Amino acid sequence: MKLDVNALRYLTKDDFRVLTAFQMGMRNHEIVPAELVDRIAGLKHGGTYKVLRDLLKNKLVHHDATKYDGYRLTYLGYVFLAIKTLVNRGVFASVGRQIGVGKESDIFEVATEDATVLAMKLHRLGRTSFRAVKSKRDYLRHRRSFNWLYLSRLAALKEFAFMKALGDHGFPVPTAVDCNRHCVIMSLVQGYPLVQVKELQNPDDVFDTILGLIVRLAEHGLIHCDFNEFNIMIDDDEKITVIDFPQMVSVSHRNAQIFFDRDIECIYKFFNKRFNLTSEKNEEQDGSESDGEGNSRPSFLSVKKAAGSLDKELAASGFTRKEQVEMEKYIDEDAEGHDSRSDDDDDEEGVGDAVPIDSLKIGQDHIDEPDCNLASRDSGVPGTFSEEHGKSCSGENRLECSPSGSNGDAKEPLESEGMMFSQENDDNEGISLDDDDDEEDAELTKKLNKQRKKAIAAAHGRRRPVSSRNAYKDKGKGTMNSKIQRQVCKW
């Protein structure tokens, strides 16, 4: 993914207001009609339509007239919102080069005011395995929309919560710094993914350390579920850091043993293939048992799972049971997408494509998104992802509407937490639109100008714009349309 943050510097407060309105609209609309965004943003003098043109130009929203006329927040738009929030919060001040591309994420360097370099992980669930997922998931098969922005946000929240808890319990993981929307900020690991390492001084020791970690994690009640050479970083002193936690499950998960064995198997296979560490290596390890061929490997059944209950602790961290279930559904059905990439995959999307560190000077405003509600955070930001707060969250995040330009319908509660994305348009939206969009752009600009004029006229005449009276009839709680939409959004 190419992330050009320069555009971010020129976006105004109103641009972000409208962008945020899109995000809110997408909680219960797959495609958000301009009129609805206008009502949520509440800008005067048809400002929304003017802003829309810029957002389209910067590919932060995407026009979609397939089902009805409207727009969708793009991945890039969502990235901009997260970056802006974190920059305004003082978490970092500039964005650097891309340092990694995962199965379902993009990782960039970011730097703080005092030049400390951190890692920013942008989650993007469903990116590579999206088509496979689409065809096989029962719970999605009957839906026309796949809420992957919502899942990305859940993944970030879960990753942050787990990273923090693991770090607090002495596991070698990056330090969890902050998170917002689908974005997690963590310390930068000095080292390389194990998959890139061709030679080790002490392969036996590294092997033992890694197996020991899998066992210790299980003793604390957790299984990584993607514990392999892609998610283990190693430095020049052969010190290990484990990364990538959104798929972790509790040892009480019904498939816990399978996941545990798979993690162990991955390590055995890799060390065997890469470092010629054969299974003859037969030393005694905690929680190990013979596999019948004279080899001892850690066994799930003999792991003493009493040492900790991190899984329970995490349940109280703000990552709710419902969210855990939703993530697990995703993980279960996406099991075959399990980091099975070849080494080459990492080159695919321009890893190392340096984007010079650019200072981001972004105007402060109060448009924000509820983020990680971990006990340790003291953000004071209203609203969280937790079930209990889900409703108040959407309410508190509604943008205040100025009386003019609003017809009162902006008070429509946006109850669902979900943000809808259509299945048809997955990978490329927001990142590269076709060139023949130019023609459509001209049309759109014309249309937006017209809508803007109408909105201004309506504001002057204290009349509701005709378009908002007739073109889009879903105006709130009471209507059948909105009931259906809310229903559709529920998981």
Q: Cβ 308 to ligand ADP, closest distance in Å?
A: 23
Residue type (1 letter), 193? P
> Could you say which of ligand ADP, Mg ion, none residue 186 binds, taking C-beta under 5 to 8 angstroms by partner kind?
ligand ADP
> Could you say which of Mg ion, ligand ADP, none residue 448 binds, taking C-beta under 5 to 8 angstroms by partner kind?
none
The CA distance from 228 to 238, in Å, is 16
The residue ranges of DSSP E strands in 384-485, in sequence order, are: 421-422
> Could you say which of ligand ADP, Mg ion, none residue 188 binds, taking C-beta under 5 to 8 angstroms by partner kind?
ligand ADP
Q: HSE-up of 24 (CA within 13 Å, CB side)?
A: 32
Q: Cβ 105 to Mg ion, closest distance in Å?
A: 7
User: Residue with the closest Cβ to ligand ADP?
Assistant: 102
The CA distance from 243 to 233, in Å, is 7
The CA distance from 354 to 109, in Å, is 10
Site string for Mg ion, 221-260 (x = CB under 5 A): ---------xx------------x----------------
The CA distance from 276 to 279, in Å, is 9
> Could you say which of ligand ADP, Mg ion, none residue 119 binds, taking C-beta under 5 to 8 angstroms by partner kind?
ligand ADP
Residue whose CB is less far from ligand ADP, 46 or 193: 193
> Could you say which of Mg ion, ligand ADP, none residue 370 binds, taking C-beta under 5 to 8 angstroms by partner kind?
none
Binding residues for ligand ADP, per CB under 6 A? 99-100, 102-105, 107, 119, 121, 174, 186, 188-189, 193, 230-231, 243-244
Using DSSP bridges, classify how beta strands 192-193 and 421-422 pair: parallel, antiparallel or unpaired: unpaired
Q: Map residue 408 onto helix, strand or coil.
A: coil
Residue whose CB is less far from Mg ion, 230 or 319: 230
Q: Cβ 1 to ligand ADP, closest distance in Å?
A: 12
Q: Do residues 46 and 405 touch, judged by C-beta distance below 8 A? A: yes
Per CB under 5 A, which of residues 68..107 are in contact with Mg ion? Answer: 102
Which residue, among 355, 208, 191, 199, has the nearest Cα to 284 in the 3D structure? 208
Q: Cβ 236 to Mg ion, closest distance in Å?
A: 21
Token pair belonging to 261? 């064995």
Q: Cβ 224 to ligand ADP, closest distance in Å?
A: 11
Q: Do residues 25 and 37 touch, judged by C-beta distance below 8 A? A: yes
Q: Do residues 214 and 267 touch, judged by C-beta distance below 8 A? A: yes
> Could you say which of Mg ion, ligand ADP, none residue 395 binds, taking C-beta under 5 to 8 angstroms by partner kind?
none
> Could you say which of ligand ADP, Mg ion, none residue 41 binds, taking C-beta under 5 to 8 angstroms by partner kind?
none
Determine which one of 15, 64, 106, 226 is catalytic: 226
Q: Is 441 a catalytic residue?
A: no
Residue whose CB is less far from ligand ADP, 1 or 414: 1
Q: Cβ 244 to Mg ion, closest distance in Å?
A: 4
Residue whose CB is less far from Mg ion, 70 or 102: 102
Residue whose CB is less far from ligand ADP, 43 or 79: 79
Per-residue burial over 92-128, b if 16 or more Cβ lie within 10 Å, else e, is bbbbbebbbbbbbbbbbbbbeeeeeebbbbbbbbbbb
User: Residue with the closest Cβ to Mg ion?
Assistant: 244
The residue ranges of DSSP E strands in 112-213, in sequence order, are: 117-123, 145-146, 176-180, 183-187, 192-193
Q: Do residues 108 and 3 touch, judged by C-beta distance below 8 A? A: yes
Q: Tokens 């509701």 identify what position? A: 464
Q: Cβ 4 to ligand ADP, closest distance in Å?
A: 20
Token pair belonging to 51? 């802003």
C-alpha dihedral, 425 to 428 to 42 to 87, nearest 10°: 140
Residue whose CB is less far from Mg ion, 28 or 231: 231
Just list the catalytic residues.
Answer: 226
**What are the residues binding Mg ion (CB under 5 A)?**
102, 230-231, 244
